[in-house]
Amino acid sequence: MPGTVTITESSLWANRRCLLICCIVSSANMQYGFDSAAVGALQAMPGFLKVFGYEDPTSPLGYGINSTVQQLITSLLTLGSFVSSLAAGYFATYLGRREGLWAACALNTVACFVQIFTDSAGVLYFGRLLLGFANGFLVTFSNVYTSEASPAHLRGVMVALFAYWVNIGSILGSVVDNYTKDWMDKRSYRVPLACLFIVPTFLAIGLFFVPESPRWLLHKGRDQEARRALEKLRYGAVEGEELELEWSEMIRGVEEEKKIAKTTPWQDMFRGHDLRRTLLCYGMIACQTASGVWFLIGYATYFFSIAGITKAFEYSIMNTCIGFLGVNLGMYAIRHLVGRRTILIIGATACGLCELATAIAASVNQDSVSTGKVLVAFTALFQFFYNGCVGAASYPVATEVVSSRLRAWTVGSATSLGYVLAWLTSFCSPYFINPEDLNWGAKYGYIWAGSNFCCVIFFYFFMPEMKGRSLEELDEIFEAGVPARKFKEYECKIVEEAMQDLDAQHVANAKAEGMFVESVERTA
């Protein structure tokens, strides 16, 4: 009978193989978290400043660093990530998600060697740019893969592993820096840089045990490989008719996308209903930067030191750990409590209030001890709410809001946009916080408070709720032009059509089996 397949929401434990595979792939994001925390904190290390800075008796550190050097060290990584993320769609036209991650691992190795064994600022800048090329592929392809590999009801949790691994990397980067910060020689920064070999090495090995994305394989016409990949990902969680239903839905979804395709993927991103999806993806990634998180990641330790806060490295570790706690609670909330839209609104509101509080405290008395305590406290709260809400939900939303055929193109270009905005943040922030320039200090938070409140408006009016929908269902809903407020009410036809395809296959198999039995009887 049509529609007799019962769809159940299997647990994380039942999907442990898929979860493990997604953990391996998503661990690529640990590299970005480690680098951001470790290299950002190098600017507060005397051992690093002796080589790439200058002596400054008036500074609490005894050394200063030119704002141009600060800009280039941080922003060139972002610039390289922008270029590689933009190229990810073109790369995916010919090679898969795994090949993209392997290429990133190889490039990362070269970049680390360049940075470790140089005393030249120019060569260091080149190494940062190369590392950015690697990071762009690591972030883009890892998040695209986990979105395509995850079952619909667990996609939010599995793609949110992005924030999970970024925070683990940030914690480890802060800890390593804390143990090397007092070394007065080149080891103080070479050891943290050498640690950047660890993640790509383990990732490159782990990818041998990871199947390629079944949706990418289907789009390339490699149906048998796609089927085997799906079976590996769903092993132990679903089987029989449930697996056949998901497979049938994937095939139908790919067929529908091929019908819709008109020109090149790059052009189709900005045509018809895909234009809306592209703009939503771009807006979601832009909201990461609008939160002010890149400023805090890149400059928190330096900011604390310049503000006269003792134990700046220890506070940075504490705040990162609080952010990690937020990620875990946020992943639970996405799975069991609220939808994507709600958690984004909560997160942006809380982040804006935290930025506003630090700015107001600095306006009252920027140099007081109490202001320093307010800065540390609200930075910790910011880390908790950003990582638990906006950070945890941003890539699940960005990867599921776009069509399967255009996912690498759209997410890659959106990630590039995010890197451009992060680069602007990295480039402009020193002018606001450096004592040589505007010396705003924590009053810089006024800008980020306003941008967070703009994000709240965007989430409320334009972001649809996509929790629990398969990627193929989302393709259908967007193609139907459903308004954001009515997403939850829409009844998709693709599941019913996939069930009909499955029933038709059962009938065809039964007929074939009957003909075989009749033939045997006649022969006997």
Per-residue pLDDT for the chain (524 aa), expressed as one digit of tens each? 344 545 567 788 888 899 999 999 999 989 888 887 777 667 777 778 777 777 777 666 677 677 777 777 777 887 888 889 888 888 888 888 999 999 999 999 999 999 888 888 888 889 989 998 998 899 889 988 988 888 888 888 888 888 888 888 888 887 888 788 778 778 888 888 889 999 999 999 999 999 999 989 988 889 999 999 998 998 877 777 788 888 888 888 788 777 776 666 777 888 888 899 999 999 999 998 898 887 766 666 665 665 566 676 677 778 778 888 888 888 888 888 888 889 999 999 999 998 898 888 878 776 666 666 777 788 888 889 998 898 888 888 998 898 878 888 888 889 888 888 877 887 777 777 766 777 776 777 888 899 999 999 999 999 998 888 888 888 888 888 888 888 888 888 776 766 666 666 656 656 655 554 454 454 44
For the full predicted model, state whether its pTM sits above 0.75.
Answer: yes
**Residue matched to tokens 């590689």:** 84
SS3 content of the chain, % helix, strand, coil (to 5): 80, 0, 20
Q: Which residues pair with 54 in a beta bridge?
A: 64
* Closest C-alpha among 391, 407, 339 to residue 142: 407
Q: Is residue 458 part of a domain?
A: yes
* CA 344 to mean position of chain CA atoms: 15
Query: Can you give the CATH number for the domain in which 269 is found?
Result: 1.20.1250.20
Residue 117 DSSP class: T
Element (H, E) at 63: strand 63-64
Q: Which two tokens stand for residue 134?
A: 């690697």
* Closest C-alpha among 463, 484, 467 to residue 150: 467
Element (H, E) at 54: strand 54-55
Asked if 70 and 43 touch (Cβ cutoff 8 Å), the reply is: yes
Residue 386 DSSP class: I
Exposed/middle/buried for residue 208 (C-beta within 10 Å: 0-12, 13-18, 19+)? exposed
Exposed/middle/buried for residue 95 (C-beta within 10 Å: 0-12, 13-18, 19+)? middle
Query: Which residues fall within 8 angstroms of residue 502, CB to CB, at 6 or more apart?
Result: 5, 241, 244, 245, 248
Rama region for 10: left / alpha / beta (φ>0; ψ in -120 to 50; rest): beta
Q: Is residue 509 part of a domain?
A: no
Cα(434)–Cα(121) distance, integer angstroms: 20
Rounded (10°) angle between helices 391-400 and 161-180 = 140
Exposed/middle/buried for residue 130 (C-beta within 10 Å: 0-12, 13-18, 19+)? buried
Q: Is residue 235 part of a domain?
A: yes
Query: Which residues fall within 8 angstroms of residue 428, CB to CB, at 6 or more apart?
Result: none
Residue 195 DSSP class: G
Asked if 280 and 463 touch (Cβ cutoff 8 Å), the reply is: yes
Q: Is residue 521 part of a domain?
A: no
Residue 181 DSSP class: T
Element (H, E) at 64: strand 63-64
**Residue matched to tokens 């609490």:** 60
Q: What are phi and psi of 206, to 5 degrees?
A: -65, -30
**Residue matched to tokens 């916080």:** 433
CA angle 211, 212, 215 (to 5 degrees): 125
Q: Is residue 505 part of a domain?
A: no
Q: Which two tokens stand for residue 311?
A: 């134990």
Q: Is residue 517 part of a domain?
A: no
- Based on the structure, what is the number of domains in the chain? 1
Residue 236: Cβ within 10 Å count: 12
What pLDDT is recorded for position 1?
Answer: 39
Q: Which two tokens stand for residue 321?
A: 């750990």
How far, CA to CA in Å, does 7 sit from each of 4, 18, 228? 9, 18, 21
Asked if 418 and 291 touch (Cβ cutoff 8 Å), the reply is: no
Cα(267)–Cα(211) distance, integer angstroms: 30
Cα(150)–Cα(377) distance, integer angstroms: 36
Residue 328: Cβ within 10 Å count: 16
Instruction: Print the domain residue range for 454.
Output: 19-486
* CA 386 to mean position of chain CA atoms: 13
Coil, helix or strand at residue 189:
helix
Tell me how many helices (H) and strands (E) the chain has. Answer: 24, 2
Q: Is residue 496 part of a domain?
A: no
Q: Is residue 161 part of a domain?
A: yes
Q: Which residues pair with 55 in a beta bridge?
A: 63
